[in-house]
Structures are given as structure tokens and as C-alpha cells.
Amino acid sequence: MTTTTPQKSRLLTLPAELRNTIYEHVLCSKGHILVRDGRSGHHHRPKCLLHTCQQIREEASPIYYTQNTFRHYVPDRGSASPPIRLWLFFWPAII
């Protein structure tokens, strides 16, 4: 049985400045990002990049959370309010 060593992503071999430019192109929205029920709207899929590995998440999260405009929909109904309020409570810990 042979073992293979996971290969490092080619993205991570690029200089940090170039990676940041790529993150901006992929993660930054021209409009706002609608947040409902504690999650971003289905139309904004680039956030998946933040879940690929810890290094990319640490490098790209500040770009995603500081260079986008988020609109939060908080309904007046009791059942949908707690998840969004919980998400907003932990918002500072994300960035």
C-alpha cells in the first residue's frame, strides 16, 4: 500500500498580493449580499472558497467581510428571528 502526500494548492504558491487580487475578484459583490435566517442568499456562492482550507479562510475572510455590503433581513415573526440574531451576535468574531 502506498501513501500519497496531499499536494499544496497552486493558488497557495502564488504571491500573497496576487492571491488577494484573486480573492477580491471572486468574493466581492457589486451589489449587496442578502442575509436571511443566518445565512447569505443562495445567489452568492463565492463564499464557498472560504471553506476550502484554513489558510485561504484566514487570508480571504477579511476581504469578504470588509469589502462587501450585507443587507440583513430580520422578520418580525418569532420563529425566524432567533437564528439571524444569533448570527449577528457572533458577527464580530467572524471578522
pLDDT at 42: 47
Q: Tens place of pLDDT for every residue, the chain, 95 residues?
A: 677 777 778 999 999 999 999 999 999 988 888 876 555 554 556 678 888 899 999 999 999 989 998 887 766 665 556 666 676 677 665 55
In this structure, are residues 49 and 27 in contact, taking their beta carbons and an 8 Å threshold? yes
Q: Output Rg (C-alpha) for the chain, integer angstroms.
A: 17
